Structure 1
């Protein structure tokens, strides 16, 4: 027997080289040819550029879908995320779970195991509209007989609408009056600059900004300079890539390309015209531009631009004498019109033409300057007579009709000789379009069966499952229950302390772990205990893990979480949150100061795999909070970074992230009130129990678990290179609306079953 085994192993060793050679011949050319012809790159997603609230509008979602289906030759790249190597996608599949919302996902988080562990990219959706399907594919509903007729010539519209305008209530008249005004009257006040987030001396987050030489005395004859900046996106947000500065006569004073210090994630070429090839040889840095501006601008210079606050923030400069044409020409309720619109209507010029690649910064700076000069020459009354609100409404209507005709996915697919597949139980207006192959199914089960067969045959698929939404009262009760649950999970109890303990010192210690919402003395105990409610779950968990059994104020204390019906399985939920694919490679760091970002940049060589730094800010003051999230490419890189940060003398504490950004945004939305008083009784979810008792088979918890498993099987049946998007559109009821949730991923050739697979 031993001899036979040895002979078998010998045969395997002899066959190994031959099998390797045959694999090379079968799979591709020899290695020396492969060096010249690299393998095709895989399509990849990145969404580290989310907005603060992690919400993606239906229009932005439509941008991504159109780009995924059609590519950059037909539509521009989406601005809110990156989809690289779109040509490598095989097809696009959108699964719509009609009747479900974020509330379903968070309430049955443990049941949606496959979705949360597989789909790293998650985002919030706004409340659903009656035309959700049409919105996400860029299609306008069929117009009624009373629809607007688009008028092409702007001056003609202006003439017909002038008679109906109420000049007295026009916002420009109300602010400036009827008579012409001088330059100084158009300057933004300090309060206005503060309101619109212009950098000012002494303001939070602007300590490292460079000041211009602005000690001059401003008069109506002070020199004007038009300013415009173009930006790219890096891991730290928007960074300067081009600056244009023009004088009153339109003479170009500066037109410089600028290379950011950090790696560029998106050049925003469709907006700026700047590409990697253009920027590669550039050596000019931000500090060079700042120095040049300080030298060129006289002390009484007035900067003019459109949305000038953004320009000054990317320049990291402070200049108090500014005129912003988006505010100078502001409409009702502070509406800010686009520069292209104002240039066309007021100046009769077309700028940022669609046949050009990107914007011309010099052109934009000149346009802003000319808009101010027009305002000073003709006065507020002339501007008010244009009736900008009505003109904008007409243009928007015309733009919508044109966009629906020219950029709808259906229209573009038709030009390519292809169709959209729509699988559903409910036939709607989408079914009437000839370029939409609609298959009506009698049940969700039939939709599932048809999807397995039909989806591989179409480049773009919408598979709609219909579920019964929560009853209104049940939904509200569940929402309140979730609010209470996260409050309790984020609250810890510490003690016992001595009766003469220093409360201020205690608060300082516990605040070092994260922002404290409240500290309350527990009166029902003989020795003092304190209830500490944190703003984020990570801080509470850090307190449990690091403070329990510690010596504080002369007492050996215990730190624990209140055990209630809602927190019975808290440890399980915390473990699962840690394994959420969105949290993989992300760490929570507490105790940071205002200069933390600078420290991190100075020692960036210690963290080579750092993708993004997420620095939360106070909503009103915009002041940076004392914690942040660091996102890395891999789990190992995150753990190494955590140990490095804890080992430095920055007095930092941290752990693995628990709360995905979209979940944080949702919790803020459902938790606007103060913490619940300790003595208030919590009503148990009786209605949920009643439903569970009377409808065991169809309880939402069971439905969530069952359909998570079915979608998992359907997902695994898709071919590699499929862009998969799962949408819970959200719901509306008598008590209000519940926002939706989106999850997306590109399926790879070989996917590991472990969570955190990078896409």
Structure 2
């Protein structure tokens, strides 16, 4: 009875917490009086959790319906409407530049009411509730420094949920932030700051095309429908009700202005189940037809709609092509970054039962008042001066319609919204404007600099740091000789500036004093980070090759490098994984494995840098960016049978002692494993291949899966996966069900690699080659069990920095977008920095 009540309370709490998008950490499980009772309770709980999470996509879909242009208009389940920032997982793995950072700052400060578009690389919801923007620039630090001193930086690693690699700018970042020009906009509230709008006739300012797209020419990405608009207008969207059986194309999450356009048009017949696909046509960006297929509807046809579709019974009689065949062809034909163009293309996608993320709808480009739409025939005749869908034709020609829609979109993008309206105002929209000199007199050219626009709007700006050439009035600058004075001065202010930039330079000064050893120190940082991904294994039988070691250990994840270590009588191997999770799984899975009758030991290297590794791994496991993520590998069936895992507690594998497993040498030189007398070969004939659909199907039972990332190199197939659940509870259930996953040859562990790093080793690998003498010195120092005075001083300074940033964060008002930028280096080497972002919530 008590367990039931706790489960009910838990479900209620989970529903409330999920509605607020708060990560729930459920990594610990309560103990019971007996092992049998605990096992039964866990099994029952897992079953209930799976049932609960089956409805999560529908709840999420219900919430998504309320999202309009980045602002949630009606929210029944989310009690809080505070601003929050997020970055898609795949975009997290690409570094951002100073220009992209300023895009976010412009949007956070001005928003859509200021004519600024949501940045393409991140999402800031409820921007209107952003109360202030604070940017801290930390000079001299790189991304590698952050992870080298990860345990010391408690505030930064726990209070900032979003981290992304930052490309060091060639110019002063503070000056770039204040002086960067805001894109010209047609927003009435900023009309005096934008020449384009001041020169525009007042009758055009309220034109539906101008109010939607502005006056400036933009790339095609400006006209791709957002997910919110697609949901609003009932386009097929993944996760939305009614589209569960639709097929998704393999598209990227973000397209660019150079992405290819494809025109699409479909014709339908009326069947017992409604309109069904009867013909589909696809043309490429040059207008060449790449697909034109007749399709046999699945249900009995009531009306061929020949007048519109051109389809007759005789045409469809010999056709055997099905909707499924067409879906497969479209998925193979469309590039991953393709943008589909069509006229009311939502109808075509519904007929195809296809979900495609990136579409341009020409009926929404050439907009009319009150939501009315032009017919494709009218647009083609007026804009393209081409006759389509004429009365002489027997039905529509979908190839012709697809080409027309494609060219209408290309013309709109090339010409720009303002010129399209002015050129076709009378023919399309049916009215003219009279010239009025008072309306068209150009206004004086104002400044478009970010700081100037904010001050024009009455917002305060401030810079605190060392004296430098900042594009800002002296009255808004404060210069300090130390970070301590800078922080104290900022906290003494009675009111936080709307935009404040603070430049911390103490660490940079310290690093400069360390020259010429600075590069040497960086190499040590990289070496220490790579050591985290290394395991030593052995002893192996004589003659055991590097190839055989690789085949065994790559079962746990991508292997970067293997070095065979030959002593006088035995063979060992140093295995360096690309991912922390690979090293951890190898340690837990292969330690104690008997190879050819010889038990091997898998262990971490004993270096000074590894003494706190267990603490670092625990901290990474509990990192807010990782709490809902799971790492999984799929073993070859033969390997899975040859490895026995004795016990798991909450998904953490105990050390396996596989004394009953022996191995013998086979004729082809590959190791084979004997379990209870049965021989299992570790060959490559049966490879473990992962695909997103299979991973989602397997792990979707444990909770709603938000994203699956398959790290894979070109020409290779994926062996491991990162699964991001919508809630940390999904990961918890999956880890608790590791025994069931093992039966399906899956090996799982909590996620350790930060989401913004596609490979931990790649982040820690120096970009330039190192002097051999220095490299030898680094290797020699790794064996010394002492810390230099410089390293101790650096660690103390990093701790001071973290505490000061914590005090600064606590002094910021609720609703402040807080950004901390570790600049990285551009001088001798291009070493990436790190950008941390968070919107401060009510305490």
By how many angstroms is 1:93 displaced?
A: 1.3
Note the alpha carbon deviations across 1:617-670, whole angstroms, 9 max, x for none. Answer: 31xx26443112122344332121234466234311121122213345574255
Partner SS for 2:525? helix
Note the alpha carbon deviations across 1:680-703, whole angstroms, 9 max, x for none. Answer: 84436989x9x9977799x33221
Tell me the C-alpha RMSD between the 2 structures: 5.1
What is the match of residue 100 of structure 2?
Answer: 60
Equivalent residue runs for 1:248-287 within 5 Å: 258-262=235-239
Residue 464 (str. 1) matches residue 481 (str. 2) = no
Distance in structure 1 (CA, Å) of the matches to 2:537 and 2:256: 55
Residue 126 (str. 1) matches residue 167 (str. 2) = yes
Which residue among 615, 618, 633 is the counterpart of 1:590?
Answer: 633
Which residue among 72, 76, 96 is the counterpart of 2:117?
Answer: 76
What is the match of residue 346 of structure 1?
Answer: none
Which residue among 168, 171, 176 is the counterpart of 1:135?
Answer: 176
**Alpha carbons 1:304, 1:369 under 8 Å: kept:** no
Residue 545 (str. 1) matches residue 588 (str. 2) = yes
Distance in structure 2 (CA, Å) of the matches to 1:263 and 1:454: 48
What is the match of residue 251 of structure 1?
Answer: none
By how many angstroms is 1:509 displaced?
A: 3.1
| Change beyond 3 A, Cα 1:695–1:569 | closer
Note the alpha carbon deviations across 1:483-509, whole angstroms, 9 max, x for none. Answer: 322333222122223336687665433
Which residue among 486, 505, 517 is the counterpart of 2:529?
Answer: 486
What is the match of residue 467 of structure 2?
Answer: 426
Equivalent residue runs for 1:634-713 within 5 Å: 634-644=727-737, 647-648=740-741, 649-664=743-758, 667-668=761-762, 670-671=764-765, 681-683=776-778, 699-713=793-807
Residue 42 (str. 1) matches residue 78 (str. 2) = no
TM-score by length of 1: 0.59
**Alpha carbons 1:421, 1:461 under 8 Å: kept:** yes
Distance in structure 2 (CA, Å) of the matches to 1:99 and 1:313: 51
Residue 730 (str. 1) matches residue 824 (str. 2) = yes
By how many angstroms is 1:427 displaced?
A: 4.1
Distance in structure 1 (CA, Å) of the matches to 2:170 and 2:404: 38
Residue 109 (str. 1) matches residue 150 (str. 2) = yes
By how many angstroms is 1:529 displaced?
A: 2.4
| Change beyond 3 A, Cα 1:439–1:545 | same
Gaps of 5+ in 1: 1-33, 142-150, 153-225, 243-255, 272-287, 306-311, 325-350, 374-401, 751-759
Which residue among 487, 490, 497 is the counterpart of 1:448?
Answer: 487
**Alpha carbons 1:97, 1:727 under 8 Å: kept:** yes
Partner SS for 1:736? coil
What is the match of residue 811 of structure 2?
Answer: 717
Distance in structure 2 (CA, Å) of the matches to 1:37 and 1:606: 24
By how many angstroms is 1:544 displaced?
A: 0.9
Distance in structure 1 (CA, Å) of the matches to 2:103 and 2:225: 20
**Alpha carbons 1:77, 1:270 under 8 Å: kept:** no
Distance in structure 1 (CA, Å) of the matches to 2:692 and 2:461: 47
Structure 1 stretch 715-724 or stretch 622-631: which is displaced more? 622-631
| Change beyond 3 A, Cα 1:126–1:494 | same
By how many angstroms is 1:424 displaced?
A: 2.0
By how many angstroms is 1:746 displaced?
A: 1.5
Distance in structure 1 (CA, Å) of the matches to 2:821 and 2:575: 37
| Change beyond 3 A, Cα 1:405–1:260 | farther
| Change beyond 3 A, Cα 1:525–1:65 | farther
Distance in structure 1 (CA, Å) of the matches to 2:762 and 2:801: 28
Aligned residues: 526
Structure 1 stretch 59-68 or stretch 712-721: which is displaced more? 712-721
| Change beyond 3 A, Cα 1:623–1:575 | same
Structure 1 stretch 539-548 or stretch 469-478: which is displaced more? 469-478
By how many angstroms is 1:612 displaced?
A: 2.3
Which residue among 739, 744, 752 is the counterpart of 2:832?
Answer: 739
What is the match of residue 565 of structure 1?
Answer: 608
Distance in structure 2 (CA, Å) of the matches to 1:674 and 1:505: 31
Residue 606 (str. 1) matches residue 701 (str. 2) = yes
Residue 616 (str. 1) matches residue 631 (str. 2) = no
**Alpha carbons 2:98, 2:168 under 8 Å: kept:** no
| Change beyond 3 A, Cα 1:369–1:576 | closer
**Alpha carbons 1:233, 1:268 under 8 Å: kept:** no
**Alpha carbons 1:501, 1:553 under 8 Å: kept:** no
By how many angstroms is 1:260 displaced?
A: 2.5
**Alpha carbons 2:133, 2:816 under 8 Å: kept:** yes
Distance in structure 2 (CA, Å) of the matches to 1:684 and 1:98: 28
Residue 626 (str. 1) matches residue 719 (str. 2) = yes
| Change beyond 3 A, Cα 1:522–1:627 | same
Partner SS for 2:462? strand
By how many angstroms is 1:290 displaced?
A: 12
Distance in structure 1 (CA, Å) of the matches to 2:696 and 2:225: 20
Gaps of 5+ in 2: 1-73, 183-194, 197-219, 242-251, 258-273, 292-326, 340-364, 372-378, 380-401, 415-442, 636-687
What is the match of residue 535 of structure 1?
Answer: 578
**Alpha carbons 2:87, 2:162 under 8 Å: kept:** yes
By how many angstroms is 1:100 displaced?
A: 2.7
By how many angstroms is 1:743 displaced?
A: 0.6
By how many angstroms is 1:563 displaced?
A: 1.2
Distance in structure 2 (CA, Å) of the matches to 1:313 and 1:431: 57
Partner SS for 1:726? strand
| Change beyond 3 A, Cα 1:520–1:267 | closer
Distance in structure 2 (CA, Å) of the matches to 1:482 and 1:356: 61
Note the alpha carbon deviations across 1:177-224, whole angstroms, 9 max, x for none. Answer: xxxxxxxxxxxxxxxxxxxxxxxxxxxxxxxxxxxxxxxxxxxxxxxx
| Change beyond 3 A, Cα 1:263–1:117 | farther
**Alpha carbons 1:66, 1:137 under 8 Å: kept:** no
By how many angstroms is 1:414 displaced?
A: 2.7
Distance in structure 2 (CA, Å) of the matches to 1:408 and 1:289: 54
Note the alpha carbon deviations across 1:368-401, whole angstroms, 9 max, x for none. Answer: 8779x9xxxxxxxxxxxxxxxxxxxxxxxxxxxx
Distance in structure 1 (CA, Å) of the matches to 2:230 and 2:330: 7
**Alpha carbons 1:491, 1:561 under 8 Å: kept:** yes
By how many angstroms is 1:543 displaced?
A: 0.9
Equivalent residue runs for 1:302-341 within 5 Å: 302-303=288-289, 316-318=331-333
Note the alpha carbon deviations across 1:538-572, whole angstroms, 9 max, x for none. Answer: 10111112221233443322111221233333333
**Alpha carbons 1:128, 1:740 under 8 Å: kept:** no
| Change beyond 3 A, Cα 1:499–1:685 | closer
**Alpha carbons 1:425, 1:440 under 8 Å: kept:** yes
**Alpha carbons 2:85, 2:839 under 8 Å: kept:** yes
Note the alpha carbon deviations across 1:306-364, whole angstroms, 9 max, x for none. Answer: xxxxxx999624179xx99xxxxxxxxxxxxxxxxxxxxxxxxxx999x999xx99988
**Alpha carbons 2:627, 2:728 under 8 Å: kept:** yes
| Change beyond 3 A, Cα 1:316–1:136 | farther
By how many angstroms is 1:86 displaced?
A: 1.6
Distance in structure 2 (CA, Å) of the matches to 1:437 and 1:517: 51
Distance in structure 1 (CA, Å) of the matches to 2:253 and 2:591: 48
Equivalent residue runs for 1:71-220 within 5 Å: 71-74=111-114, 75-137=116-178, 139=180
Distance in structure 2 (CA, Å) of the matches to 1:494 and 1:446: 52
Partner SS for 2:753? coil
Distance in structure 1 (CA, Å) of the matches to 2:746 and 2:769: 27
**Alpha carbons 1:232, 1:267 under 8 Å: kept:** no
By how many angstroms is 1:104 displaced?
A: 2.9
